[in-house]
Amino acid sequence: MIPFLAAAALALMGVHAPVWNDLAACESSGVWDTNTGNGFYGGLQIWQPTWAEHGGLDYAPRADLASSDDQITVAEEILRDQGWSAWPECSRRLGLSGRWHAAQPGDTLQSVADRFQVPEEELRQLNPGAEGADAGAPLVPGTLIRLP
């Protein structure tokens, strides 16, 4: 597992997989197909109504039945909607906070700024190391962009 500070630094740089792996390690000991019967499923312990609300049923009936990549895709939607508070204890332990957007194919900082109605310059200041953020270039899909 990547140490906390390294994971946080990687998240700021737009590398998303280590952050989700660290979160899964905290939530479920990294077992992506876990079903303990508590109503939360998969590596990221996603509550069933949240899974359905954020498009999870497009992948599998429950998170524990989906691949880790599909769980992360749904988690990115949850993150955009609820922020890291969707995973209150583990996000606190890992020092994660606020709302984030996982870049989609074709996203630029300007298009993200427009979508969330925030100044592009503010996104640039919050995300100085975002891959592909220079000169209007497309962001690397999956890059986590911190939102104000």
The pLDDT tens digits along the chain (148 residues) read 333 433 444 444 344 568 899 999 999 999 999 999 999 999 999 999 999 999 999 999 999 999 999 999 999 999 988 989 999 999 999 888 878 888 889 999 999 999 999 998 898 888 887 766 666 788 888 888 888 8
Task: Name every residue whose Cβ is closer than 8 Å to that of residue 84 and which is 6 or more positions away in sequence.
Answer: 91, 96, 97, 98, 100
CA distance 6 to 15: 11
